[in-house]
Structure 1
Amino acid sequence: MPSIGASLFWIVASAVVAPLLAGLFPRKLVPEVVLLLLAGIIIGPHVLDIAVEGSEIGLLSDLGLGLLFLLAGYEINTAEITGRGGRRALVTWLASLALAFGLVWLLSLAGVTNAGTAVAIALTSTALGTLLPILRDAGALDSRLGKTVLNHGAFGELGPVIAMAVLLGSRGSLASIAVLGLFVVAAVLVAFIPDRLRREGSRIAAIIRAGSETTSQTTVRLTVLLLVTLSVLAMWFGLDAILGAFAAGFILRRATAGGYEVLETKIDGLAFGFLIPIFFVTSGMAIDIEAIASEPGVLVAFVLLILVVRSGPVYVSGRFDRGPGGTDPPFTVRERTQLALYAGTGLPLIVAVTGVAVDSGTMTTAHASALVAAGAITVLLFPLGASLIGSPRDRQADHEPDAVDSQAANDENRGVDT
């Protein structure tokens, strides 16, 4: 068995090689995340077997997952998710959940799958944290399409986490809702702390500002403390740590109203430079190729279900999206397809949901492996498909008058036979 040191070397080496390979592809058609997952599959125990996760690397991976969801929560604009686009995204996610329960119920009657509740929740997830580096590298975060992806991604992460806490909890639904409410109250109380630290003339605030540009790096340390505190708090309440990390991102955004570019740069360096790549590589290492090959039909069924349950409603929703003010043209077919593929991308929450279901004995490990593999396939192929479908130039062309019709009209005015 490979040692922890050797495993960490190969994981970090994969994290270095992935962006170099991604840069060789024109227009960055192959996202770096895809290459990190592929590298994990190759070096993992199911192919070359030169790297294992272990508890030490697992801790780094968990921190990477936490930072991934913290940054996802940080990117969410409260005004956006409470506005027209956010309400539409919420309704779309609820439609996805209802559709998921209906289809999974039919499949359970046919004996195709068990653990219907867990499977239904997993099918409605959107890996916003996974999409962030892809959208950021493509320069699409500030575009209308990017903001819509963020809206759907916010509910595609928060919705399944809440559903998992309520429907898969061991306490029962009512008790789980009460515990979830207590966590929300605790998170709100934590959110008031930054307000007190920011008061003008505060000695503590002055120390924090002075130390932010020294070796103390106080703002980074406070961010990590916020992440760890809320993650541990969530686990203490019997909830998934992902919920705490997501809440930490919301609170960090509130604490840095208007944005704090220096802090964002430092957190990006810590997250995307080290910890998040470890999470993606170790996620790839966990994919069992032999288990997938033993039940290819189940794998294909899960991928198709994700397309129908999550991508389908989002595609339909894009037809009625006219921007925040309701005056923009609806998304084109190309843009709706891109939006649907991005929304259907899921992995971290699928891993979390299947882990809870397997631990409770309601899901077999074979079906859990197939569902996780299906999530990995969406990360491998869906963002790539969205990138191939259209570039920013293509999206602009979709909103411009048809070039052929325009040229024909000009020729007609000049008396040219077209």
Structure 2
Amino acid sequence: MSAGPGAGRGPDPEVGAGADPPEGSSPVRGRADLASARRVVVKVGSSSLTSAAGGLDEDRLGALVTALQAVRGRGGQVVLVSSGAIAAGLAPLGLVRRPRDLATQQAAASVGQGLLVAAYARALAPVGAAVGQVLLTADDVVRRGHYRNAQRTLERLLHLQVLPVVNENDTVATDEIRFGDNDRLAALVAHLVRADALVLLSDVDALHDGPPSRPGSRRVPLVASPADLAAVEVGGAGAAGVGTGGMATKLDAAALATSSGIPALLTSAALAAAGLAGQDVGTWFAATGRRRPTRLLWLAHAARTRGTLVLDDGAVRAVRERGASLLPAGVRATTGGFAAGDPVDLVDGTGHVLARGLVGFDAEEVPAMLGRSTAELARSLGPGHDRVLVHRDDLVLVPR
């Protein structure tokens, strides 16, 4: 029998422990506060680091490092989430554009990742600063057995005044590499390290109300709520052929961060220094919610679920209205090949997803438990089965 995430424990130790900014930090309420923010996560896209001929542009990368070093020089801390490994590997492999097949993408990432980190190390060498490479997937940021280790590693690097350069682990990723979503990874890292702000750098200077190349298109200086995006036209990835995110993933990342208490700035890499100095550049996304555990944030916005639990009406009310844990007695059916600790969808009788959570048992154990009380399960299946299927600390409601 598998011990799930809610087994034999009280309140989740992450709740509360990860809810507040680092001690001594100043709240970032507006863009001007970036000039004194204690800890900032900066994400830069591939198109901002590469030249028109392909490969890394050392001048662009050096300008970015100068902007980051200005923050570090005033006593601030920076975690850099950097795309560019695949782009850096194209020229050495004789490729002119980002390959479409996964195997060649991973080969390019394998060649390019070392070049990318070496370029950052060269740029920081004159000031005697060290660079630390941190390769992550989404699971490393949020899964119970992984995220604490990632958090400890990043905290230690910052304590040692090393610049962490974080990238998705493209050489082994599967779904993640197809989407190339380092924007989302950066938002999750911002929560992981309890950053004061997230800065998303790309090849456009700000969010505009239409395509930036269209005459009359205007910069959107402030997004105070999702309603401010209602009339905005969002385009796809840039024309350089080396990036994959586009504006849509940047807006998703900004929403992911701001809905849980971390404001975000979206601007171009060329304006990074001005943005980090608190100047009126780019688009500022105001924080709209309160900080919550990274795991729950991931469940709400980024989880790829491994199965489904179909709830009866009573369980739907208990989960949605009372914030209760999900008991086996309230589940009608299950689908999927999940293992204990995997994310699953909780759906009502019509198939509508009302919540996501980390399930406490393997898929093959669950059918024998459905519709039965915990007391009955303990009598018939033995001690250890008298537990919840999804603990309330490992469950998040999905907006209707």
Query: How does the TM-score come out when normalised to structure 2?
Result: 0.26
Q: As a proportion of its length, which structure holds more strand?
A: 2
Using CA pairs below 8 Å that are at least 6 residues apart, which structure has the higher relative contact order? Answer: 1
